[in-house]
Amino acid sequence: MSAATAGQGAVLSGRRVVLGVGGSIAAYKAASLARLLVGVGAQVRVVLTGAAARFVGPALFAGLTGEPVATDLFEPRTIDHIALARWADAGLVAPATADLLARAALGLADDYLTTWLLAFPGPVAFAPAMNHRMWEQPAVRRAVATLRADGRHLIGPVYGPLGAPGEGEGHGRLAEPEAIVAALASLLAPRAPTRFAGRRVVVTAGPTREPLDAVRFLSNRSSGRMGFALAEALRDRGAAVTVVRGPVALADPPRVRVLGVETALEMREAVRAEATGAAAVFAAAAVSDWRARAVAPGKWKRGGAAERTIELVANPDILAELGRDPQGTVLVGFAAEAGGDLAEARRKLDAKGLHLIVHNDVLHPDAGFEVETNRVTILHRDGAVAEVGPLHKRAVAEAIVDAAERWLPE
């Protein structure tokens, strides 16, 4: 047994998990998921939707778990959904189809699984799986945002080969069963008394936008997911969290204070004000390095011109400014690089006076911008190095917060 599996077993052993399986071609992976959960000591009961039963049968899961499988709310021999809600410690829906996400977000209860979800008050994680075009639909994004705001957790989807012939690769693939089990273990892991409890922390998230004229701007692909995951992890450890975020398409994380900004200069002003007296600053935002020297008051007209010259000036380095006068604040930086060389991250760690820096290679399809997962290397100022992932960004956030906690004063 690997150290990771042993750690998951310590968390999941004896836990009672309801595994809901949606009607996706990825449903076959739910069998491996059930086997892994049982293998680390969890008690698993499976609920199949009607569509899922067309891909995989109840007998398969009954054989893997040793427990009866629920498929029909009105089947006389099926355990009552209220009784199953009392029995469970956690819920895991994998694969979660677009239809399941929408019905769960709306609170519909038209089959056994959605009825059970409404009856169960404990933690639930959804592992989506669908075509990448479906995953990108605004209706699906709204459903995901609603579930997050309601306190549900999302695991993936990840980038990889898609199920439909000829579709190639994209974001929408079900996370691998091992990664789902690891994320569930992270979700259910008991939180030891944390030194962040009661302390004020600042998290930056998302991109900034630097205007060129009335309609155009410079920006980048940051989605804000990593920063929001950090905010939620810190909130759940008892910290008083302020998020300073640029323009993002995500719903703000619940139960944290959020300040919205647009430009790097606006973010600088907000962060400097909030960092005074803060225990830690997690600078996960992708702040634009440059801004236009002059912003046109209206809209540029092409006017037949083949070229246009834009003069740029450097934006301030917000984290480096904090590092020159840290005032006892733990400073955590992020280095998104196009490659795996850690030299630039180490340079930034030293030059900015940080306690630790999180390096990630944005060329990996399962890391960086606009994806639900990440793989990072955490570098400490004392030379310690830790590699994390690929995992869901919430699990990566927990590892980063653990790393930062060791630098907090007693």
Whole-number Å distance between alpha carbons of 337 and 331? 19
**Helix, strand, or coil (residue 19):** strand
> What do you get for the CA distance between the two ends of the chain, in Å?
35
Quote the tokens at residue 283: 């600078």
Whole-number Å distance between alpha carbons of 85 and 157? 26
Quote the tokens at residue 50: 């009607």
C-beta of residue 212 within 8 angstroms of C-beta of residue 62: no
- With tokens 């995951």, the residue in question is 229
Q: Are strands 290-292 and 240-245 parallel, antiparallel or unpaired?
A: unpaired
Within 10 angstroms of residue 297's Cβ, the number of other Cβ atoms is 7
Closest CA to 87 of 64, 102, 63, 68: 68
Whole-number Å distance between alpha carbons of 169 and 132? 8
The answer to whether residue 374 is catalytic is: no
Whole-number Å distance between alpha carbons of 70 and 57? 11
Quote the tokens at residue 111: 């089959």
Radius of gyration of the chain (CA): 23
Q: Is 260 exposed, middle or buried (0-12, 13-18, 19+ CB in 10 A)?
A: middle
CA 274 to chain CA centroid, nearest Å: 24
Is there a cis peptide before residue 409, judged by omega within 30 degrees of 0?
no
Determine the longest span between alpha carbons in the chain, in angstroms. Answer: 75
Alpha helices in 120-263 (DSSP H): 132-135, 138-149, 177-188, 225-236
Quote the tokens at residue 249: 């398409």
Closest CA to 239 of 279, 277, 283, 274: 279
Q: Which of 220, 315, 360, 374 is catalytic?
A: 220
Quote the tokens at residue 345: 């991250």
Whole-number Å distance between alpha carbons of 355 and 105? 40
Q: List active site positions.
A: 220
